[in-house]
Amino acid sequence: MNLSPLQKARYEYSPKLPGMLRGGISEISVKVGAPTESVADQAKIKALFPNTYGKEEITFVKGSNTSAAKKQVVGVILSGGQAPGGHNVICGLYDAIKATDKNNVLLGFKGGPSGLIDDDYIEFTDEYINQYRNTGGFDIIGSGRTKLETEEQFKIVTEVAKKHGLTAIVIIGGDDSNTNAAVLAEYMAAHDTGVQVIGCPKTIDGDLKNEDIEASFGFDTATKTYSELIGNIERDANSAKKYWHFIKVMGRSASHVALECALETQPNICLIGEEVAAKKMSLAQITNYIADSVEKRGNNGENFGVAIIPEGIVEFVPEFSKLIAEINELLAGKKTEEFNALPNWAAKYEFIKKGLSGESFAVFDILPEFVQQQLFLERDPHGNVQVSLIESEKLFSEMVKAELAKRKAAGTYKGKFGQQHHFFGYEGRCAFPSNFDADYCYSLGYNAFMLIQYGYTGYLSKVSNISKPAEEWVAGGMPITKMMNMERRNGEDKPVIRKALVELDGAPFKYFEAHREEWAEKTCFTYPGAIQYFGPAEVCDLTTRTLALEKGE
């Protein structure tokens, strides 16, 4: 295998563990905290999780290891979209397993949860694991989006676990995956299988976050990667001085990525979906907000700028959400076939006009035609609009262009408007993890095995105080049920982990809010540059601006 110099060097990097996990497995003890309850709907969650609800939070401390010795055979899966650092979670888990007893076994089930169902696995060895240390991607065993949620699936997983003598399963994933981990843990406990289930918090979107999870892994690396690219574009914009760059970034349900990139790069415009929803902003209001910045800068001779757009922005616009809901209803059942059979867009347009309310059609009609058509592309498995297919960066640049034409005709806008469009998504999902993510993920994996060794199930591997140097990090675990509430999903009330949205009264947003007016008019760009792996800690181990502001640093 041909390796780049950086890849060789990253293999040799030794991830830093929290202080209490250093010095040997035999020196790790456990401190039991208070019992927990779910964030909402306590009675309902307790009823659904009678065997795993209300358990205590725990913290690992220096002391004598009092866990019962037994051979451990652990299965691990990667679930959902890729996030930098996933390999290191598995490496940390493997190292802790083998440090405890070299006869312990770690099985990696391939392709996500379906690997558990299909019994498709690999037994990890030193030689195999060493190829993936401190590298990006999920290619060590692959990932998938199959959900473990049915009785039939649980029975199959139980049989696979029994076949291999599994003592525990570790699920590395986001909010949905860890919800499934909690449900699987409850099933295993209720049926007295002896199989523990532990979750690890992953998502570059940053929405698996709460008072216990200060950051999900991968968010640091992904936002640093996007911020480097945005900074490069800002420098190009400031050099060429002739384009406005509309940049869409990841974040379907929350705007954490957009906000962090804005804090890193200080663009002229950054839309925050949660603010759009709170203020009930219309498409026209958003368009005018961006156009005001373009006009002021253009009239000052600065015909360039950068606008950051979260991937899911349109879902936060109330009138657009209503439009999407009506379209979903319009194409319900066999009506999709009827719509697709129409001969051309003109016929489809008339079908849409008849089927929508006057209010929603008015919104539909102001959209550029390419966006109108994107709303009627292939549906998701539930028959709904795939909002991620909407090119919102192009939507707003076209609407701003039309608004500026009106202003030019009125004589208020004297500049020139050129557009460029970008979408940064895949570019950040498999990047070489930053030192922070390499350390954090390795610690999560190592810590996950300590939870297994001490007999916990239905717990999330938790590493906190992570804005400080790794020596000061705190390792432990919390019951996954603590994060859960009931939500309506596909016509049913289901227990799910509550998504964390951008808090409009939180320090990161408040800092952005205090500076954005200046950024909108002036050129205040900052250029973060590439992720640094070697050098002083204040450069290489730097945390996100979001986390630093949340911690008052």
Decide which of 1.20.1050.140, 3.50.50.60, 3.40.50.460, 3.40.1410.10 is the CATH code for 223-426+506-541.
Answer: 3.40.50.460
* Alpha-carbon gap, residue 331 to 384, rounded angstroms: 9
* Token pair of 389 as six digits: 């297919």
- The whole-angstrom separation of Cα 370 and Cα 397 is 13
| Residue recorded with tokens 């065993």 | 141
HSE toward the beta carbon, residue 107, CA cutoff 13 A:
19
Q: What is the pLDDT of residue 492?
A: 82
Report phi then psi at 305, rounded to 5.
Answer: 175, 175
**Burial code of 386-412, b = ≥16 C-beta within 10 A, e = fewer?**
ebeebbbbbbbbbbbbebbeebbeeee
Using DSSP bridges, classify how beta strands 419-424 and 459-464 pair: parallel, antiparallel or unpaired. Answer: unpaired
Q: What does the pLDDT read at residue 490?
A: 67
| CA distances in angstroms from 197 to 167, 232, 245, 376, listed in the order given | 9, 43, 45, 41
How many helices and strands in the chain, by DSSP H and E?
Answer: 23, 16
Nearest to 141 by CA among 75, 206, 185: 75
Annotated active-site positions, please? 205
Annotated domain spans of the chain? 28-218+430-443+470-497, 223-426+506-541
Residue 338 CA, chain-centre distance (Å), reads 37
DSSP helix/strand/coil, 440: helix
User: Cα 505 vs. chain centroid, distance in angstroms?
Assistant: 21
* Owner of token pair 């650092």: 85
Instruction: Give the whole-angstrom CA distance, residue 400 versus residue 283.
Output: 10
Domain made up of 28-218+430-443+470-497: CATH architecture: 3-Layer(aba) Sandwich (3.40)
Alpha carbon of residue 285 to chain centroid: 28
List phi, psi (to 5°) of 288. Answer: -65, -35
Q: Measured over all CA atoms, what is the biggest interatomic distance in the chain, rounded to whole angstroms? A: 80
> Which helix (H) or strand (E) element contains residue 106?
strand 105-109
Q: For the chain, 553 residues long, give each residue's pLDDT as a single digit of tens.
A: 688 898 899 999 999 999 999 999 999 999 999 999 999 999 999 999 999 999 999 999 999 999 999 999 999 999 999 999 999 999 999 999 999 999 999 999 999 999 999 999 999 999 999 999 999 999 999 999 998 889 999 999 999 999 999 999 999 999 999 999 999 999 999 999 999 999 999 999 999 998 889 999 999 999 999 999 999 999 999 999 999 999 999 998 899 999 999 999 999 999 999 999 999 999 999 999 999 999 999 999 999 999 999 999 998 999 999 999 899 889 887 888 899 899 999 999 999 999 999 999 999 999 999 999 999 887 666 667 777 788 999 999 999 999 999 999 999 999 999 999 999 999 999 999 999 999 999 999 999 999 999 999 999 999 999 999 999 999 999 999 999 999 987 678 899 999 999 999 999 999 999 999 999 999 999 999 999 999 999 899 989 999 999 999 8
Looking at residue 1, its pLDDT comes to 64
- In this structure, what are the phi and psi dihedrals at residue 158, rounded to the nearest 5 degrees? -60, -40
By the 8 A CB rule, do 143 and 90 touch?
no
pLDDT at 382: 62
Query: Which contacts of 533-539 are long-range, i.e. CB under 8 A and separated by 24 or more positions?
Result: 533/6, 533/9, 533/10, 533/13, 533/432, 533/434, 533/435, 534/9, 537/469
Q: How far apart are CA 199 and CA 218, in angstroms?
A: 15
Question: Distance (Å, rounded) from C-alpha 488 to C-alpha 170?
Answer: 27
Per the CB < 8 A criterion, the answer to whether 443 and 475 are in contact is: yes
529 Rama sector, left if φ>0, alpha if ψ -120 to 50, beta otherwise: left
Residues 76 and 109 sit within 8 Å (Cβ to Cβ) = yes
